Amino acid sequence: MILLTGGAGYIGSHTAVVLLRAGYEVLVVDNFCNSSPESLKRIEKITGKKCPYIRGDIRDRALLDNVFQQHTIEAVIHFAGLKAVGESYAKPLDYYHCNVFGTITLLQAMQAFGVKTFVFSSSATVYGNAPIPYTEQTPTGVPSNPYGRTKLHIEQILQDLSNSDDEWKIALLRYFNPVAAIETGEIGEDPLGIPNNLMPFISQVAVGKLPELAVFGNDYPTRDGSCVRDFIHIMDLAEGHCAALDFLQNPAHPNGVHIWNLGTGKGISVLEMIAAFEKVNQVKIPYRIAPKRDGDLAEFYANPNKAKMELNWQAKRSLEDMMRDLWNWQKNNPNGYR
C-alpha cells in the first residue's frame, strides 16, 4: 500500500487515480487545510476502487505511528505542505513548521518502521535564477521566497538522510507548472479564495467568478514581454509519480537520491496561455497589464530528458488538451468541490 500525504489535494488526487488504475492500493493522510474529502469520493467514483483516508496532520507523530502500525506501507509519496508563495512571506514560521518540520516528523516515523522508499514533491523553484533550460545537473540556487526555501531545505535533508543510511530510495520530483484536470472533469484544482496561480485565475474569469485577469508585467526580456513557464498537464505529472515509484521499487535500480524534472521542455508565455484558452474554448478572457509581481523570474522551463531516459516517461498531452480539460473541470464545477 502506498501512503499519500496530502493525497486529497490537487496533485495528490490526480496521482491517486493514476496509481489506483495501475493496480496500487493507496491510503491518504490529509488534514484538509487546503482540500476536502469530496475529492477522495470522486476518485472512488472515477476508478471504482477504494481510496481510504485518515484525517490527520503529518506533524502528529503519534498519528503517523498508528498509520504505520496498522497498515503495510511500502512507500510514501509526500505531497502534504503549504504552497502559496505570497502567504509564505507573511507566515514564514507556518511554512517552515508545516513543510520542514512536517517532513522531518514523517521521515522519523518512516525510519522507525523501516519504510525507506520516498517520493517528494519538490519544485523547479529550487534552481533559483539559473540558466535555462534547467537540467538536474544545474546547481540549485536560492529560491526567491520562503516557500521555495522550504523545498530546498527538505531536498538537502533528504540528501543528508540518504548519506547516513544507504537503504533509502528517494525521488526528488521537481515539478514545473502543473495545470488542468483529469480528462473527465470530476477532479481538479480548487483553490480557496482568490487563486494565486495563473490558470485557475483564468478559468475563474472565464466562468464569471472574477472580472478580469491582471497580467503581471509585459516588459520582461521574453518574446512577448510576459513571463514564460513550462506548463504541464496534471495527468502527465501524475503519471510521472507512478513512473518514479516503479523505478524506486525496482531492485535493479540503485538506492539513494534520484532527481527528475517533471516538465514538458517547452516554454509558453502568459499571453500565449490566455490566447490558447480563448481559442480552444471560445471564451473571452478580459485582462489588463499590471505591475510585475515580486520574485517572478522572466522565463524558465525544464530539460526533461533524464526522466525520459530513466523513467521512460514524458509529457504526452498538448497545450490544447490542457485548455480543454481545465475548462471542462471549471465549467462543470464552478464552485470547485463546494
Among 2, 12, 64, 201, binds ligand NAD (CB under 6 A): 12
Q: Dig out the grid coordinates for 131 from the structure.
A: 540558466
Reduced to 3 states (helix: H, G, I; strand: E, B; else coil), residue 160 is helix
Least distance in angstroms from the C-beta of 290 to ligand UFG: 7
Do the strands 228-229 and 268-269 form a parallel or antiparallel pair, or are they unpaired?
Answer: antiparallel
Q: Dig out the grid coordinates for 13 from the structure.
A: 488526487
Among 47, 66, 196, 218, binds ligand UFG (CB under 6 A): 196
Selected catalytic residue, list 24, 96, 147, 175: 147
Q: Rounded to the nearest 10 degrees, what angle do helices 146-164 and 102-112 cross at?
A: 20
Assess 148 for contact with ligand NAD (CB under 6 A).
no
Assess 326 for contact with ligand UFG (CB under 6 A).
no
Assess 145 for contact with ligand NAD (CB under 6 A).
no
Among 79, 247, 277, 301, binds ligand NAD (CB under 6 A): 79
Assess 121 for contact with ligand NAD (CB under 6 A).
yes
**Closer residue to ligand UFG in complex, CB, 116/149:** 149
Binding segment toward ligand NAD, per CB under 6 A, in 53-61, 198-206, 266-274, 307-315: 53-61
Least distance in angstroms from the C-beta of 39 to ligand NAD: 8
Among 124, 172, 315, 323, binds ligand UFG (CB under 6 A): 124
* Distances from the Cα of 317 to the Cα of 19, 88, 176, 231, 232, angstroms: 18, 32, 15, 11, 8
Assess 257 for contact with ligand NAD (CB under 6 A).
no
Least distance in angstroms from the C-beta of 237 to ligand NAD: 9
Q: Are 308 and 234 in contact (CB under 8 A)?
A: no
Among 28, 198, 232, 323, binds ligand UFG (CB under 6 A): 198
Rounded to whole angstroms, the Cα distance separating 86 from 104 reads 24
Q: What is the CA radius of gyration of the chain?
A: 19
Count of beta carbons in the 10 Å neighbourhood of residue 75: 21
Cell 517572478 appears where? 296
Least distance in angstroms from the C-beta of 300 to ligand UFG: 7
Assess 215 for contact with ligand UFG (CB under 6 A).
yes
Assess 89 for contact with ligand UFG (CB under 6 A).
no
Rounded to whole angstroms, the Cα distance separating 107 from 128 reads 26
Rounded to whole angstroms, the Cα distance separating 195 from 51 reads 27
Assess 192 for contact with ligand UFG (CB under 6 A).
no
**Closer residue to ligand UFG in complex, CB, 83/258:** 83
Least distance in angstroms from the C-beta of 335 to ligand NAD: 16
Q: Are 97 and 59 in contact (CB under 8 A)?
A: yes
Q: How many chain residues bind ligand UFG (CB under 6 A)?
A: 20
Among 25, 65, 74, 296, binds ligand UFG (CB under 6 A): 296
- Tell me which of ligand NAD, ligand UFG, none is bound by residue 216, counting a contact when its beta carbon lies within the kind-specific cut-off of 5 to 8 angstroms: ligand UFG
Phi/psi of residue 6, nearest 5 degrees: 70, 25
What are the residues whose beta carbons fall under 8 Å from the beta carbon of 66, sequence distance 6 or more? none
Residue 134 is among the residues annotated as catalytic for this protein: no
Provide the strand spans (E) within 56-176. Answer: 75-78, 117-123, 169-175
Q: Which of 44, 330, 302 is nearest to 181 (CA)?
A: 330
**In sequence order, what are the beta bridge partners of 53?**
28
Active site residues: 147
Which residues are at the interface with ligand UFG (CB under 6 A)? 83, 85, 123-125, 148, 177, 196-198, 201, 213-216, 227, 229, 270, 293, 296
Which residues are at the interface with ligand NAD (CB under 6 A)? 5-6, 8-12, 30-35, 57-59, 79-83, 98, 102, 121, 123, 175, 177-178
